[in-house]
A and B are shown apart, each in its own frame.
Chain A
Amino acid sequence: MEDVKKDEGWIDKTLPVDWNKVKEEAVGEILPHHMKLWWYCLGGVPAVMFLILVITGMMLSFHYVPHPDMAYESVVKITTEIPYGWWLRSIHRWSAEIMIVTVSLHAIRVFATGAYRHPRELCWMTGAILLLLCFGLGFTGYSLVYTQMSYWAMTIGTGIAAKTPLIGSFLSRFMLGGEAIGEATLNRFFILHAAILPSITFLMVFVHIVLIRLHGVTEHLVGIQREVVKGLSRGDE
């Protein structure tokens, strides 16, 4: 170990990463003052919720059975029998609700403050895709419980899709895996909800956030004015 420099341990040698630089990149970004106002930071909430949903979702799929005869029963078992199943299920459920609400508020805020303008078109477009993905996740997840409510949500959802001009019947048959709700439908919804949609969402969140970091968030006069008027500045520039 003589040839190892004084402040360079085994980890630094095998993993030659400048951690200070990583930290600076990750948390050291200088933000405009308006970002102190919570409604400008609503994009981060669905991101955290998504993370929680991925973890709790993986856990739930250990005990969930995607078969029409077993789905509801397995959900009841998770809720009443398996230790802390009710806890994980509640977290998954509430995180989903919060994600949908905050992602919608985030989109409204971006729209209302005109933050979608050039050069941030791609932020807006990936965002729009994320909004649709969130709705897709919500819809497929709700159907998995396989209660009466789930059944009718599936019926109405696929019914709406069937009314799309030109490709409607194709879409509805693709979602149902046939002409009516059955074994194939639940299987499809499960794979969409637990594998395909989350993967695409993960990718989109990544691109969305990289784009935001490349551009920096939009400077808004509102924030600056408010800060001058109310003396919110900590004066540490």
Chain B
Amino acid sequence: MSEKDGGGQEVSRRDFLANAAMTVGLVATIGTAGVYGVRYLVPKAKVKKFVDVLVTNLKELRPGVAREFIDASGRKGILVNNNGQVKAFSKICTHLGCEVEWHQLKKEFYCPCHEGFFDADGINIKGPPPRPLDEFKVTVKDDNIYVALEEV
């Protein structure tokens, strides 16, 4: 738009197209960066959703008995009836991630990898595991046992 173009009044097709392309490009770039930037600075906390899933019932899971289950993303858990009190834990050992087993007589969870022990409440009592087993919420309704599992 020099003086020769008519004092900045007329805009040639070529200039118009160039300016339009430039504007679209800039708006797209800065817009994208802006949206990404805000999402980055204000991250939404991932809201975990749980659903109660029917796993078994009290006729099957008699006192002292344990039963394995798998959640929707393939992680293994274990249901235990410890003298009428039903609890569910993750089978993943909190030490280095082996699978724990329920010992019916000793009423303990045992991890064979490095001799780790957890009691019936999932508390780490012996060996290298640094913290209790992860626990699931259990609901017993009309003798049916539901475990709250994460939705995927």
Contact = CB atoms under 8 A, between A and B. Distances in A.
Nearest to A83: B39
Contacts of A83: 36, 39-40, 43-44
A82 B41 CA distance: 9
B25 interface: no
Q: Is the interface of B mostly helix, strand, loop or mixed?
A: helix
Interface size range of chain A in the complex: 10 to 19
B85 interface: no
Interface size range of chain B in the complex: under 10
B2 A84 contact: no
A85 interface: yes
Contacts of A84: 36-37, 39-40
Interface of A: 59, 62-63, 81-85, 87-88, 236
26 contacts: A59-B37, A59-B40, A59-B41, A62-B40, A62-B41, A63-B40, A81-B43, A82-B40, A82-B43, A83-B36, A83-B39, A83-B40, A83-B43, A83-B44, A84-B36, A84-B37, A84-B39, A84-B40, A85-B40, A87-B36, A87-B40, A88-B36, A88-B37, A88-B40, A236-B2, A236-B4
Interface of B: 2, 4, 36-37, 39-41, 43-44
Identify the 3 closest CB pairs spanning chains A and B, nearest first. Answer: A84-B36, A83-B39, A84-B40
